[in-house]
Amino acid sequence: MSFLSAFFYDRCLATAEEACLREWRQELLGQVSGHVLEIGAGTGANIDFYPETVVRLVMSEPDKNMRKQLEARLENSNLENASVSGGSAENIEADAASFDFVVTSLVCCSVTCLDTVFLEIRRVLKPSGCLVFMEHVAADERSNRRRWQNRVTPLWRRLASNCHLNRETEAAMLSAGFTIREIKHESMRKVIPLVRPTIRGIAARD
C-alpha cells in the first residue's frame, strides 16, 4: 500500500465501521481464545474486540505503512500478550499446528493467491483450530452486480492495493478442506455497491 492509502484507510472505512463493521467484528472476535493469529491486520481495527480469553495474539501485517499504524494502536491499547510481525499470508512465519484461531477481516480480497493462503492457514492451525473470517466477496454468479464486479476488478485491483471485487472466498475455503461451522451473508452498508456482498463466520480446520 502507498503511504497515502494507508494514511486514509481508516477514514475511508469510518462510515461502514459505524454502520456495521464494528458490530460484526465484536460478534466474531468475542468467540476467539487461546493462541490467535490475525493475518493482514492493517491498522488494527480489530484490536478493541479481542477478549481476555486470548492468551497470545500475533498480528501480522506485511505492509510497512499499515504496520506503523498497527504498532501505534497496539501500544495505546489494553492488549497484553500481543505482538506484531511482517510477512505475507502465502508464507506464514509460524510452526505447524501452533494456533487455536486464525482471523482474517477484509484480507482475502487482496492476497496474491487465496488457495495458498488457506492451505497455509490450515497448516498453522491446531487440529481443533478454526478460521474466523469477515470478507467482502463475489456477488451471485448470475447477477448484474457480479457482471460489473468482473468488469471493474482489473482496474480496481490497480487502484485499491490488489483488492478483487469478485473473489469466491467461501468456495476456496471449502476446496482447501475447511468445514464451515457458521456463515452469514450480509450486505456491507455505506460502501459502493460492488463491495457490499460479504460473508462472515467460523470454519473448522478439520
Ligand X SMILES: C[S@@+](CC[C@H](N)C(=O)[O-])C[C@H]1O[C@@H](n2cnc3c(N)ncnc32)[C@H](O)[C@@H]1O
Query: Which positions touch ligand X (CB under 6 A)?
Result: 1, 39-42, 45, 61-63, 66, 88-90, 105-107, 110-112
Distance between CA atoms of residues 159 and 95, nearest Å: 34
Give 176's contacts (C-beta < 8 A, 6+ positions apart). 115, 118, 119, 121, 122
- DSSP 3-state assignment of 73? helix
**C-beta of 48 vs 90, nearer to ligand X:** 90
Whether residue 197 contacts residue 187, with contact meaning beta carbons closer than 8 Å, is answered with: yes
**C-beta of 71 vs 90, nearer to ligand X:** 90
Beta strands in 32-89 (DSSP E): 34-39, 54-60, 82-85
**C-beta of 125 vs 128, nearer to ligand X:** 125
**C-beta of 160 vs 174, nearer to ligand X:** 160
By beta carbon distance, the residue nearest ligand X is 42
Q: How far is the CB of 87 from ligand X (least distance, A)?
A: 8
Give 102's contacts (C-beta < 8 A, 6+ positions apart). 36, 37, 38, 39, 121, 124, 125, 129, 130, 131, 132
Q: How far is the CB of 108 from ligand X (least distance, A)?
A: 9
Q: How far is the CB of 53 from ligand X (least distance, A)?
A: 20
Q: How far is the CB of 197 from ligand X (least distance, A)?
A: 15
DSSP state of 106: S
**C-beta of 19 vs 179, nearer to ligand X:** 19
Helix (H) or strand (E) holding 198: strand 197-204
**C-beta of 110 vs 130, nearer to ligand X:** 110
Do you know the residue count of the chain? 206
Q: How far is the CB of 121 from ligand X (least distance, A)?
A: 11
Beta strands in 61-178 (DSSP E): 82-85, 99-105, 125-136
Q: How far is the CB of 142 from ligand X (least distance, A)?
A: 27
